[in-house]
Structure 1
Amino acid sequence: MERSQSLSTAESMPLIGKYIRDRSSSFSAAIMNRLSSLKEGSGDFVLKNDSLNFEVTEFKIPGVKVIVKLKSEEERLEDQIRGRITLFTKSNCEHSIAARQFFKEKGLRYVEINIDVFTKSGNELMERTGSCEVPQIFFNDSLIGGLATLKSLSESGELHEKMKELLGPKCPEEAPKVPVYGINDEEDKEDELVGVVRFLRQSLPIQDRLIKMKMVKSCFAGPDVVEAIINHLDCGRRKGIATAKMMAQKHFIHHVFGENDFENGYHYYRFLEHEPFIMGCFNFRSSTNDNEPKPASFIADRLSKLMFSIVEMDGYVSDDRLHVDYFRISKSEEFRRYIKLTRDLQRINLQLFTPNERLAFFLNLYNAMVIHAVISIGHPEGILDNKAFFLDFQYVIGGYPHSLSIIENGILRNNRKSPFSLTKPFSKEDRRLHLVPMRVNPLIHFGLCKGTRSSPKLRFFTAHNVEDELISAAKDYFQSEGIKIDRELRTVYLTRIIKWFSQDFGGQEKEILEWVLNYLEGRNAKLLKTMLGDGDLITIVYQDYDWSGNL
């Protein structure tokens, strides 16, 4: 019985579908007949504008109200465009940002070519325009000009006609080439020593040895290196020793205890890829980078431009820079190129930086590493996760490991203990000590984004203006959430960042408040200045820190 009912229902399904289709067709036909009989000006025809300023035509049919929205002028123009708008831009460029915003507000699709990301596209721009000035806009293969020209056409009402004229046809082959994502178009040159290094990797007696009562893995003796070089290059001992010294200076090899670069005595060394820390470095991929190290200034500049392009790209980071879409960033061409760039950090010569270059470089690298860490290992959710995040996520930089904690506390904070730590990051013999600045700049704490909701917003810095940019970062942080003042209770509620790193801000509460006052504006500045001036006790309460992710 149940089976026959099921069959009956199944057999009736086509009939139900036919009924619905017939009724739908009849209904559509009735509407079309009614519309064709309507005349403008009759009581059944109403023309009005909705809240979006689109023309709306409303037809009244007994029992039915039909509203037809007409396309806006921009939408009708979009339908007529078969070609391509190409926008050449640069990172951290106000005019490029304004050009993007112009097209976004107009609702016009375009292809952006950031010549700081796709560096070879800069050559094409130079060939087409005679300069690398940006932004530059092309309609198909026709150069329109920069932002000023674009705005002028818009204000004069000529933009739409120009677009119809030049973008009506399909995009020709002569138009600017769209870069291919996923292709490495940047040239690398092998290090001049790579031939010797590869020979030594194959020929040296690399083995574990007991040295100074310690078991040292994968090492070799200095004299063996010199003899192998002499035989391979067919040279004298002096050149053999000089070549070994150069290998050490370029971080192909290190002394197992970091005692020297290279000496012609009975010391032991190992290759960079055999260092105990190397497998834990997220910019190491099965082998070290044997290319000629790029200049430190070039890498720092490239790093900042790639990161600026990420924060400026629509949809990656919120307009206020407080929320980050790590998933979208992970799929971007900018991030892919950043990951490739991190391999160039392995043997970089950090001693060639000026103080401001070094400061901007490590601020930018820290914030970029946080993005990489969240993408690779996830956001920390507890105390143990925090340890792994800030201590264990690291890059090999200039031949040595650098974690987020090392960059913050060892380098930027002048080798000071991190909160809740009993020891300094670097010992007296640590070869990374030469990177430490002469003094601590407390403003760094407002330039470091830890990927949390309570950390300062995500930003990147330029070497030539890093001090002013840090001042702006501090003022912005205190303006938004870093401080609250209750005059009646004579209480100042400060970010917990200042409590954790109170030594950097003066140590004593009055010194801390006097330091903070320098970066306050408006009402808070007046309140705190008055409270400090009257000499009465001021209570500092530190706000809770929200460790949840800045998603």
Structure 2
Amino acid sequence: MNPEPPKDVVVDDRKINISNGDVNGTVVKLDDQLGAGFSDVEMKKIISEKKEDCSLNSVEVNKIGESNAKEVNHQIQSNGTNGYNSYMPAIKAQAHFPKPQPPPQPQPELERSQSVSLAESMPSIGKYIKDRSTTLSAAIIKRLSSLTEDGEDFVVKNDSLNLEVTEIKIPGVKVIVKLKSEDERFDLKGRITFFSRSNCRDCTAVRKFFREKGLPYVEINIDVFPKRAKELVERTGKSEVPQIFFNEKLLGGLVTLNSLRNSGELDKRMRELLSQKCPDGAPKVPVYGFDDDDEEEEEEKDELLGIVKLLRQSLPIQDRLIKMKIVKNCFAGDDMLEVIIHHLDCGRKKGIETGRQLVQKHFIKHVFGENDFEEGRHFYRFLEHEPFITACFNFRISINDSEPKSPSFLADKLARLMTAILEAYASDDRHHVDYYRIRKSEEFRRYLNLTRDLQRVDLRLLSPDERLAFFLNLYNAMAIHAVITIGHPEGVLGRRGFFGDFQYVIGGYPYSLSVIQNGILRNNRKSPYSLVRPFGNGDRRLKFAPAKVNPLIHFGLCNGTRSSPTVRFFTAQGVEGELRGAAREYFQNGAIEINLDKRTVSLTRIIKWFSVDFGQEKDVLRWVMNYLDTTRAGLLTHLLSDGGPIHFVYQDYDWAGNL
């Protein structure tokens, strides 16, 4: 009997040849010229290619309605007449495998390499595998190349330049690229320099403009580098700041900068003047540690320094038992008086007066602080031998023996120097401070040098407002120094060391952060959770405390934490108004919250800690109203006027650093 002729079946709009076998939707019979093997992956569409000397039938695809293919575990002997090979199972493709797709338009015929001719002599199975792999690879490559057309993974503005990718979407990650405009894409080889002062509004505007534009600049603050003020006058003919230079060329001040920016000429001017490397004639960049000779005048020697050196060499300094206490490194006042009389060839009265001058200039001190200098069996010691001196962070190896500078001059210089540090290394709102950059800055190095001049300064010469501003500024500067040196306080013990153990020697006496806040500014009141006052009876530092406590001082002190007021430095002329501004800013930034429905007022914990300075809770609300906006002040007025109860809640204090 003759074999049944092959049947043509149409599947997916393609005609395939089926013969000698049960077709159940899972098995197809392959032409002999395709070889005996079949891929174990079900292919959706395969495009046949015609070869030069052989004619291939269309690749047979198993796509007959059944969703789940079943294996057929039997074989049928091949028919020699018709050239059929055995049946092979086709397994349904898994979802994660790539699915080749036909190209949308005819593809140009690929140039064949010489290896193709060798394939013609290969067995049928080898040619089939090679053809299938080639077709599959081409389909995968085409699919990958079409991703950018079909998907939205990239947002491209200018594909030809490939420069305008503004957003890249990755699963779980969103990357946004900030592009420079066409005018900004130029090579900045020169240097932008501008002269400034501390607390200058125009200088702040120039600094902010350069930061927002991302332009590197060099700032020369003439409060930090006072000798550069002469250079400013020589280059510009005036002392006003800011003055901006592009390389060695003077651009002008803030008015000129705004005019060029508004007219669109600024970028053009930058291209013209900054496209070349900065020449030697441009203002020099301040160098760390090498400007002392230009900045500082030669220090004046103290007139008593000769006597002090003689006393240090001549007096028998030793430990003594005095009033049942061991006092270290002290000497007898009578011994010092004899040395002075012999050296100056003077009488005892002149010798005693000289001894008192040594005490007033903080070269020596009575071991118990009982007197300035008197004749008799009293004991004294040099300032460098005081037990607290080695724990002071403005003491290095030896005491500064130079003539003490004016306290007003030092206070003003400290404020200007620290303001310059904030302007350069803190955010515009002062909520974030870059302590790492401050530690490495030339400004901070100069501040440390300045603190040595405070060792023997005479604070009695300061007016009340000058003294208030000085101690506020000293506290904030010491807090920055403490964070840089020992880090932010962690835990109760850490805070105790931060506020109590970090100290300076000022005018011959030690001052910690706690002593400044509670002993001086709060007029010797106990700190929170403390049982004793900072100063005992007869402590000579008490004379620097104000007669009346001003509660506003709490909003001018920054201890480097997130919940403290923002760091700032005050001027002696406007300290009262600046404190009111600090309080207003602090309360407007969340230090008070009012819930009218629940009749609840949430206050900063600072008010709870120092409640003795603010008064009763309702009195606090009346006082706080002076520093609130009209909306919150109206809410407080309503709560206080209707006579109902008011519930007070105190906010948690965030001790994390203001980094």
Match of 2:395 in 1: 284
Secondary structure class of the residue paired with 2:331: strand
Structure 2 Cα separation of the partners of residues 225 and 273 of structure 1: 17
Which of 516, 525, 546 lines up with 2:654 in the alignment? 546
Which of 151, 155, 159 lines up with 1:58 in the alignment? 159
1:111 aligns with 2:218: yes
1:71 Cα deviation (Å)? 6.5
Match of 2:622 in 1: 514
Structure 1 Cα separation of the partners of residues 255 and 499 of structure 2: 46
1:455 Cα deviation (Å)? 1.2
Bigger fraction of residues in helix: 1
Q: Across the two proteins, how many residue pairs are aligned to each other?
A: 488
On the 8 A contact 1:499/1:542 being kept in 2, the answer is yes
Structure 2 Cα separation of the partners of residues 234 and 56 of structure 1: 92
Secondary structure class of the residue paired with 1:484: strand
Which sits farther off after the overlay, 399-408 or 518-527? 518-527
On the 8 A contact 1:74/1:107 being kept in 2, the answer is no
1:251 aligns with 2:356: no
TM-score, scaled relative to structure 2: 0.71
* Higher RCO (CA < 8 A, seq sep 6+): 1
Q: Residue by residue, what CA displacement relative to the aligned partner does 1:145-179 show, whole Å, maximum 9, x if unpaired?
A: 21112222333343344444444443333322222
User: Letter of the aligned partner of 2:445 in structure 1?
Assistant: R
Match of 2:248 in 1: 141
Q: Residue by residue, what CA displacement relative to the aligned partner does 1:194-216 show, whole Å, maximum 9, x if unpaired?
A: 22212211111111112222221
On the 8 A contact 2:535/2:542 being kept in 1, the answer is yes
Structure 2 Cα separation of the partners of residues 433 and 74 of structure 1: 63
Structure 1 Cα separation of the partners of residues 599 and 191 of structure 2: 62
Give the 3 Å change call, closer, same or farther, for CA 243–132 of structure 1 in structure 2.
farther
On the 8 A contact 1:410/1:424 being kept in 2, the answer is yes
Match of 2:206 in 1: 99
On the 8 A contact 2:518/2:524 being kept in 1, the answer is yes
Q: Residue by residue, what CA displacement relative to the aligned partner does 1:180-202 show, whole Å, maximum 9, x if unpaired?
A: 21233323333222222122111
Match of 2:25 in 1: none
1:298 aligns with 2:430: no
Which of 368, 375, 378 lines up with 1:264 in the alignment? 375
On the 8 A contact 2:555/2:583 being kept in 1, the answer is yes
TM-score, scaled relative to structure 1: 0.84
User: Letter of the aligned partner of 2:411 in structure 1?
Assistant: A
State the Cα RMSD in Å. 2.1
Structure 1 Cα separation of the partners of residues 402 and 371 of structure 2: 24
User: Letter of the aligned partner of 1:209 in structure 2?
Assistant: R
Match of 2:386 in 1: 275
On the 8 A contact 1:226/1:244 being kept in 2, the answer is yes
Structure 2 Cα separation of the partners of residues 490 and 83 of structure 1: 62
- Give the fraction of aligned pairs with identical amino acids, expressed as a percent: 67
Give the 3 Å change call, closer, same or farther, for CA 300–520 of structure 1 in structure 2.
same
Which of 259, 280, 292 lines up with 1:152 in the alignment? 259
Secondary structure class of the residue paired with 1:58: coil
Secondary structure class of the residue paired with 2:287: coil
Q: Residue by residue, what CA displacement relative to the aligned partner does 1:72-100 show, whole Å, maximum 9, x if unpaired?
A: 35434x42x54332200111111111111
1:340 aligns with 2:449: yes
Which of 318, 322, 327 lines up with 1:211 in the alignment? 322
On the 8 A contact 2:522/2:549 being kept in 1, the answer is yes
User: Letter of the aligned partner of 2:311 in structure 1?
Assistant: L
Which of 125, 129, 140 lines up with 2:236 in the alignment? 129
Give the greater-gyration-radius structure (CA): 2
On the 8 A contact 2:500/2:514 being kept in 1, the answer is yes
Secondary structure class of the residue paired with 2:511: strand
5+ residue gaps, structure 2:
1-153, 165-178
Structure 2 Cα separation of the partners of residues 163 and 386 of structure 1: 50
The aligned runs of 1:2-401 (5 Å cut-off) are 57-59=158-160, 67-68=162-163, 72-76=181-185, 78-79=186-187, 81-183=188-290, 184-185=292-293, 186-187=296-297, 188-313=299-424, 316-401=425-510
Structure 1 Cα separation of the partners of residues 551 and 334 of structure 2: 48
The aligned runs of 1:452-467 (5 Å cut-off) are 452-467=561-576
User: Letter of the aligned partner of 1:177 in structure 2?
Assistant: K
Secondary structure class of the residue paired with 2:627: coil
User: Letter of the aligned partner of 1:432 in structure 2?
Assistant: R
Match of 1:33 in 2: none
1:267 Cα deviation (Å)? 1.5
1:417 Cα deviation (Å)? 1.0
Q: Residue by residue, what CA displacement relative to the aligned partner does 1:364-393 show, whole Å, maximum 9, x if unpaired?
A: 111111111111112111111111111111
User: Letter of the aligned partner of 1:67 in structure 2?
Assistant: N
Structure 1 Cα separation of the partners of residues 238 and 373 of structure 2: 47
Which sits farther off after the overlay, 215-224 or 391-400? 215-224
Structure 1 Cα separation of the partners of residues 310 and 183 of structure 2: 65
